[in-house]
Structure 1
Amino acid sequence: MLLLFLSEPNWKPDTAAAAAESGEQWISLLSQLESVIWSVMMASGGRSESRLWLSNTVSSIGSLTPRQYRDLFVKLLRTKPTKRSLASQLWQMIFEKHPRLAGRVLARRSRILENFFQGNPMRIMQWFSHFGVGGTEHRKGAKALSQFAFVNRDICWEELEWKGKHGQSPAMVATKPHYFLDLDVLRTVENFIDNVPEFWSSVELAESLKDGEIFSIDMKFFVEFFVVLMYKDDARDVWEAVDEFLMQESFSSLCHHLLITLEEREFCAFLELLRKHLSPQMGKNDFGRTSSWLELLLSRSSDFDSIDQLLLLNAVIHQGRQLLKLVCDEEFGEEEAKVRDIVSRIGTLSSSYNSLVPLLSKCFKMKVVEAIKFLALHSWVLHYALSKECKTPESWESLFLRNGITFKKSDKYALLHDNGLSENDDSESDDGVSIKRKHRKKKKKKKSRKKRRDFSDDENFDSELLDVDPSDNGLDEQTKTESWLLSTDAYSASWTNADLPEHLSKICFSTWMKWNFARWTNLD
């Protein structure tokens, strides 16, 4: 039965020589595993997706203040060469989430709309044709057009074109505003473009722009306009709007929307800027957070050679279930055989609770990034072994007892879906993102089903439904699974056999990190 090493061992091995030899064996085997996992990730075309996984972990960092992450993104936006793709995505976010911030900026530059509408009948009709009916108010550009026409009727009323046989006088339209429905909007606005330049810098038009609704007409045009204002004109009010938006938006949302636009070298530059905002002061209890390992690594060390190390680390720590699916895929049969052999050989080193000491001692003397890597790799070894060895409720309960985990059987059953996840899965789901596989052949097994008298009269009964045994309260053996409440998380979640390998491997990694962190801290 597997040892999870959740109880802190005796840090003094029997002999220094034996410990050194065992430690070298651990490192050698885990290094081989690292090579296999990396080759599978890259063979699956997963570099871009691995970066997405890492971005998701970065987004979970919660220690930054709004002012800190505002400064972080502003520094990145101002870094040479110009980050046009990043800026474009940022302005698209502003238009969608806080359009008034950009609307105020555009209102000060309303004159550019003269060129925006010139020669574009569709844009003109989208913005200026919303005259009220039945007592409702004019909206958007229609309101601006009517208000300006009344206030400046001496210079522009004759430029209004009407659909009827004769035009309407200001006095008549003032008493019957619905007459504006007879206005030939397209010809009128074209006249204003040619003959009424005052309209394009008017207060009336500016007011219609402040809510930012106009951006929906052609977001691409306005994104480009604002990017030019940022980088070519270095407009102060534009950067102020950026500052205000970054302060209002959450760090998580900004990461999810903006980091995907970065090239790899830009992403590395972002991580370097992020490192300067992270505090190296962490406590043992911080290691329950998703991003704790990354915060520790970035804040205490800048010695990782390339982003590859971070991609691998993050995949092993947070995408363990996804990596397991990849390794076990028929496309990677040779690689899985290597993994199986490595896991078996590591198992021979794990004969007692003290057998992890040589590895921990080795990690204690390494650079932080290397130490985290080997602890994470060994936690994935346990993930793999648990998924292969624990198949029955009895095997899980035996594992709990041997490793000092107290448990209670949950009073509810969970339904497993085709992806192996349960409905009450409380672990972090990896299925939102999956490494793309090349030239894959998936074999689907059809589940056998029996005809049941209960449904014989229903011709529309879904033939894909699983059989139901009344004695099992509607759950058959293919979908019913035991679940447990565990002391590992203070009995806060119900864990099924589909979820336990990932949950327990993460608990192990977090526990070992606390031990090593305590020793690193004492060294400081």
Structure 2
Amino acid sequence: MVNLFLSEPKLNDVVADNSSNIDVILPLLNKLGSHIQSLVTRGGRSEARLWLCSALSTVSISPRKQLSVFMKLLRSKPRKLQFVSQLLTMIFEKRPRKLGSLLAKRSYILEKFFEGHPKRILEWFSEFAYDGGSDHKHGAKALAQFAFTNRDICWDELEWRGKHGQSPAVVATKPHYLLDLDVQRTIENFLDNVPEFWSSKEFAESLKDGQVLFLDTKFFLDLFIGFMYEEDLNDVWDAVEEFLTEESFSSLTQHLLITLDECHLCRFLELLGNYFDPSIESWDSGDSSCWLGVVLSKYVDTESIDELLLLNSIINQGRQLLRLVRDENLNDEGELLKENTEEIFRGLEKGSSFSLILRDLSKMKHEEVIRLLGILSWTIHFRLAEECQTPDSWELLFRENGIEFRRSSDHSLLSHKGYSEESESDSDSRSRASKKRHKREKKKRKKQKMRAIDDDDLGDDELVGLHQTSRSWSLSTDGFSATWTSVDLPEHIAKYSLSTWMKWLLARQK
């Protein structure tokens, strides 16, 4: 059975033991780390990079600092056009009014945008209200308002699909007549003969909501990139900075980091690392930032992300890493990996080896501690996935390691010795519990009977798989707050073990 080392060793348990193989275990952990790193950075590198970007999105950083990091990337050379395009696309989708208002100030630019593009013209200027009301949309509203206000200079440019044109007075009383307008020919006339329209307040107003950006996003991406880097327009940069301050760090990293090549990702990590402290205050197994900040703080001038890919894979992506190992279908390497983990555990279970490791780690820098204990926690993940194949084997693991548990179909608490602990002592409570239990068992027998009928249609292998995953548990590891199955348990137990060890070490260093 796998020893999770969840009983905190006391300081006086650590004795000078010349026969201890502590000098063997640490090299074994480093050897296993190198093996995993090779696997992650070789065949699974692109996937491991995505895992890292996802982990970075959980880091907590102030809006002022995130603005500084991203602005330095935007201003640095060479220009990262894919990065800039993705950022602008985010602004288009999330805050279109920011850039729409900037276009409104320069509405005359869009004269060239519509010239020679019938599709754009029809999409923007055709949405007249069908009920004849005044709620025309986008360019149609601008066209109607401008035409009435400036009818003396442009009414003759309106083209109608009927046998004859309509006068302003008739259209004013029957606004649904605008539906008969030949929009394409009318706008083409405006392009040729009414230049005032393109810089008018009516046309500018139609651009403020930013919906025009979606007529041709590539055109507007190129336009705004030109505003930023060729014309260096302050109001455009101000809008970008405002967005970078308002948007969450999580959203920015998830959308933008995937566009960076590895060299520029390294630069991002270096910039980010300037804002973190190299020490750990606390450890939460569900919070990546508790260890990422420490590692990033040491990342200055590093040109490779290999170490970060390793750490994130073993700490945050244990299940995916295990899948990667299996998908590689490297039987020889898989056997070596298994032998390596078994050798590590054989060494740890001799005498005071684990206590000695904790003693030695308490003298090391935090980033090295995270690496070694992270590797050890993943060996637990690997062994549990290999060895705990039945519900009974899981319950034996819980008992042997002092983890209390409840079966999901039975709300009684099982201690690590396997005994049920009653919370009510009076006979009435026991009687009520007995009656409820009798009803549950009756329903359970009925379900089992129905399941047995269904099982007749299943093969032996399918039955084994069904019964293996049919049991689930609530555990004392998380205060019985979640239900765990054999699929989830290896990762959960490994993370819990790592969290427990780190809390011991941090307590010793205070």
TM-score (norm 1): 0.82
What is the CA deviation profile of residues 187-207 of structure 1, one whole-angstrom value per residue up to 9, with x for unaligned ones?
111111122111111100111
Q: State which structure, 1 or 2, has the greater radius of gyration over its C-alpha atoms.
A: 2
The aligned counterpart of 1:251 is 249
How far apart are the structure 2 equivalents of 1:26 and 1:233? 61
Q: Would you say the 8 A contact 1:140–1:208 is kept in 2?
A: yes
Bigger shift: residues 230-239 or 51-60: 230-239
Structure 1 counterpart SS, 2:329: helix
Deviation (angstroms), 1:285: 4.7
The aligned counterpart of 1:79 is 76
Deviation (angstroms), 1:369: 3.2
The aligned counterpart of 2:178 is 180
Q: How does 1:137-216 map to 2 (within 5 A)?
A: 137-216=135-214
How far apart are the structure 2 equivalents of 1:162 and 1:148? 17
Deviation (angstroms), 1:329: 4.1
What is the CA deviation profile of residues 130-165 of structure 1, one whole-angstrom value per residue up to 9, with x for unaligned ones?
112122322110110111111112222222222233
Q: Would you say the 8 A contact 1:405–1:487 is kept in 2?
A: yes
Q: Would you say the 8 A contact 1:288–1:510 is kept in 2?
A: no
How far apart are the structure 1 equivalents of 2:220 and 2:202? 20
The aligned counterpart of 1:470 is 450
Seen in structure 2, the aligned counterparts of structure 1 residues 330 and 114 have a Cα distance that, compared at 3 Å, is: closer
Letter in 2 for 1:108: K
Deviation (angstroms), 1:287: 5.3
The aligned counterpart of 2:16 is 15
The aligned counterpart of 2:24 is 25
The aligned counterpart of 2:307 is 309
Q: How does 1:4-83 map to 2 (within 5 A)?
A: 4-11=4-11, 13-15=14-16, 17-19=18-20, 22-44=21-43, 46-61=44-59, 63-83=60-80
| 2:131 matches 1:120 | no
The aligned counterpart of 1:493 is 482
How far apart are the structure 1 equivalents of 2:285 and 2:378? 17
Deviation (angstroms), 1:403: 1.5
Deviation (angstroms), 1:368: 3.6
Deviation (angstroms), 1:330: 6.9
The aligned counterpart of 2:433 is none
Q: Would you say the 8 A contact 2:285–2:495 is kept in 1?
A: no
The aligned counterpart of 2:95 is 98
Bigger shift: residues 328-337 or 6-15: 6-15
What is the CA deviation profile of residues 238-259 of structure 1, one whole-angstrom value per residue up to 9, with x for unaligned ones?
1222222223322211111111
Q: Would you say the 8 A contact 2:37–2:309 is kept in 1?
A: no
Structure 2 counterpart SS, 1:495: coil
The aligned counterpart of 2:347 is 349
The aligned counterpart of 1:131 is 128
The aligned counterpart of 1:242 is 240
Q: Would you say the 8 A contact 1:54–1:314 is kept in 2?
A: yes
How far apart are the structure 2 equivalents of 1:10 and 1:483? 34
Q: Would you say the 8 A contact 2:408–2:472 is kept in 1?
A: yes
Bigger shift: residues 317-326 or 70-79: 70-79
| 2:263 matches 1:262 | no
User: Structure 2: any 5+ residue segments left out of the alignment?
Assistant: 412-447, 456-462
How far apart are the structure 1 equivalents of 2:273 and 2:125? 50
What is the CA deviation profile of residues 184-236 of structure 1, one whole-angstrom value per residue up to 9, with x for unaligned ones?
21111111112211111110011101111111211111111112112222222
Letter in 1 for 2:22: G
Letter in 2 for 1:116: F
Bigger shift: residues 153-162 or 332-341: 153-162
Structure 2 counterpart SS, 1:408: strand
Bigger shift: residues 381-390 or 160-169: 160-169
TM-score (norm 2): 0.85
Seen in structure 2, the aligned counterparts of structure 1 residues 474 and 248 have a Cα distance that, compared at 3 Å, is: farther
The aligned counterpart of 1:509 is 498
The answer to which structure has the higher helix fraction is 2
Seen in structure 2, the aligned counterparts of structure 1 residues 347 and 287 have a Cα distance that, compared at 3 Å, is: closer
User: Structure 1: any 5+ residue segments left out of the alignment?
Assistant: 414-467
Instruction: Please provide the CA RMSD for this pair.
Output: 2.5
Deviation (angstroms), 1:291: 2.7
The count of aligned residue pairs is 464
What is the CA deviation profile of residues 298-344 of structure 1, one whole-angstrom value per residue up to 9, with x for unaligned ones?
23664866210001111111121122223234721011010111012
Deviation (angstroms), 1:56: 0.5
Bigger shift: residues 238-247 or 356-365: 356-365
